[in-house]
């Protein structure tokens, strides 16, 4: 078995070596910086890198006590998160010279746990659909997905072992799928959102990317403060609900094949795989998610909409105008329907521990003018349920494809334990 190069080490593996002092933080950070210097010009995952500060921080960590679970681990931070010592542009030219006074809460928690910030990763314009310059590491003619484009690409290309992202519709799960990494979206409200540019408070979630479930769980434990996320998979029968969703007719051949591979592999073991009884009217959640996001984004971006309209993309302007045409009474009705659905969906987890469902319609689409359809993520974002993308197959043109697992609200530790167990079976 070939020994991985330093920049190829997964976060969980590197964390053990760093904690034992068998690996220096400076050596790992330098290896990742060298990888980024060699590949970022082609991939465009980072919008800003501060090598001097990263190396200085790494040397300080090597000279002191072990700080925490992320001690010495290089991370990328989506450019939607405020950072006190790095520019924060939110994917817009409006904020090209913006220097926040403080770190976002999630960034501060990562630093407290010993993480070393390599730099800021590309986001789409205000985390909506207008893409940045990032390309797919597996094929530069294809999108990396969005809005957490740079974070997913940086992890996939071994520039960093971990990166922060956000999701309101499909902005963690979809780029994770397109770039072939593990993406973890925690339960709504489990990670503090202070200092992250808000789009839709009803659905915004902070999470991140790693190259294994253990890696994602390590980051998630720091972000949520819940060390149960690190427990690993449990023994006993796992009740897996098979949920292709009402949008299954829009799944492309690569996703269909991934589904066949997964269901066949999981049905051969002692776990229980059962079709999910579809809740009545579940398909309405897709439109409800769109409408709720449209209303809330229009108001969250009111400063930009009112003072800098000319600097916004036409696509974003159209969304903001549509959102302002929705009145408050209608928004209240959206919120009530969302709350009702969040109660209804919980009954599914009385019969199933986790739900297996598509992440994307297929592999990353060709072209860089769009970031792909979040169709299979919208409902879960609206419901606020935790989700993990698991990459395990290859589709057209050598592009990665996989599926996502969805868990019960607040039971992220159970979801990640199941995800680790299922991912191992799908890979081997």
199/124 Cα distance (integer angstroms): 13
One of 171, 200, 247, 300 is an active-site residue; which one? 171
One of 92, 106, 120, 147 is an active-site residue; which one? 147
374/224 Cα distance (integer angstroms): 25
CB atoms within 10 A of CB 271: 17
Identify which of 392, 426, 403 has the alpha carbon closest to the alpha carbon of residue 211.
392
Phi, psi of 175 (to 5 degrees): -65, -30
| Residue 248 neighbours by CB under 8 Å, 6+ apart | 358
Residue 171 designated active-site:
yes
Omega prior to 147 cis, within 30 of 0: yes
If you ran DSSP here, which 8-state letter would residue 100 be given?
A: -
Write b or e for each residue in 42-80: b if 16 or more Cβ atoms lie within 10 A of its Cβ, otherwise e.
ebbbbbbbbbeebbebbeebbeeeebbbbbbbbbbbbbb
- For residue 211, what are its two tokens? 């190259």
79/428 Cα distance (integer angstroms): 36
193/166 Cα distance (integer angstroms): 10
| Residue 162 neighbours by CB under 8 Å, 6+ apart | 11, 70, 73, 74, 75, 76, 115, 155, 208, 209, 210, 215, 218, 219
Identify which of 373, 397, 377 has the alpha carbon closest to the alpha carbon of residue 385.
377
CB atoms within 10 A of CB 4: 12
- For residue 39, what are its two tokens? 């590949």
* Helix, strand, coil share (%) of the chain residues, nearest 5: 45, 15, 40
Q: How far is CA 103 from the centre of its chain?
A: 20
Instruction: Using alpha carbons, list the distances in angstroms from residue 317 to 92, 126, 295, 331.
Output: 13, 12, 13, 20
CB atoms within 10 A of CB 255: 25
N-term to C-term CA, the chain = 16
Residue 24 designated active-site:
no
Count of residues in the chain: 428
Residue 147 designated active-site:
yes
Which residues are annotated as catalytic?
78, 147, 171
């Amino acid at each position: 078995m070939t020994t991985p190069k330093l920049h190829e080490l997964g976060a969980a593996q590197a964390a053990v070596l760093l904690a034992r002092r068998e690996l220096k933080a400076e050596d790992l950070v330098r290896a990742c910086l060298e990888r980024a210097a060699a590949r970022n010009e082609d991939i465009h995952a980072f919008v800003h890198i501060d090598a001097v500060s990263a190396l200085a921080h790494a040397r300080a960590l090597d000279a002191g006590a072990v700080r925490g679970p992320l001690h010495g681990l290089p991370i990328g931070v989506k450019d939607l998160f405020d950072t006190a010592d790095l520019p924060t542009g939110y994917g817009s030219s409006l904020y090209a010279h913006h220097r926040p006074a403080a770190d976002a809460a999630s960034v501060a928690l990562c630093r407290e746990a010993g993480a070393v910030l390599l730099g800021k990763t590309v986001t789409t314009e205000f985390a909506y659909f207008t893409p940045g310059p990032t390309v797919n590491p597996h094929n530069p003619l294809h999108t990396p997905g969005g809005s957490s484009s740079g974070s997913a690409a940086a992890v996939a290309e071994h520039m960093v072992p971990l990166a922060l992202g956000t999701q309101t519709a499909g902005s963690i799960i979809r780029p994770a799928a397109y770039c072939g990494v593990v993406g973890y979206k925690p339960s709504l409200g489990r990670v503090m959102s202070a200092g992250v540019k808000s789009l839709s408070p009803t659905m915004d979630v902070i999470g991140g990317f790693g190259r294994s479930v253990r890696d994602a769980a390590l980051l998630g434990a720091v972000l949520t403060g819940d060390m149960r996320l690190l427990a690993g998979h449990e023994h006993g029968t796992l009740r897996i609900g098979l949920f292709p969703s009402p949008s299954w007719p829009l799944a492309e051949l690569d996703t269909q094949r991934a589904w066949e591979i997964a269901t066949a592999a999981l049905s051969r073991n002692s776990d229980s795989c059962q079709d999910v009884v579809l809740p009545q009217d579940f398909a309405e959640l897709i439109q409800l998610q769109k409408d709720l996001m449209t209303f809330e984004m229009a108001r969250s971006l009111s400063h930009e909409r009112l003072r800098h309209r000319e600097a916004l993309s036409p696509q974003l302007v159209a969304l903001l105008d549509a959102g302002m045409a929705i009145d408050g009474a209608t928004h209240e009705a959206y919120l009530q329907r969302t709350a009702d659905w969040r109660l209804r969906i919980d009954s599914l987890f009385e019969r199933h521990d986790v739900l297996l469902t598509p992440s994307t319609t297929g592999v990353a689409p060709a072209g860089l003018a769009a970031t792909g359809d979040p169709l299979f993520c919208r409902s879960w974002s609206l419901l606020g349920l935790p989700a993990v993308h698991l990459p395990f197959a290859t589709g057209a043109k050598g592009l990665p494809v996989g599926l996502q697992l969805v868990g019960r609200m607040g039971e992220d530790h159970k979801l990640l334990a199941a995800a680790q167990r299922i991912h191992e079976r799908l890979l081997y």
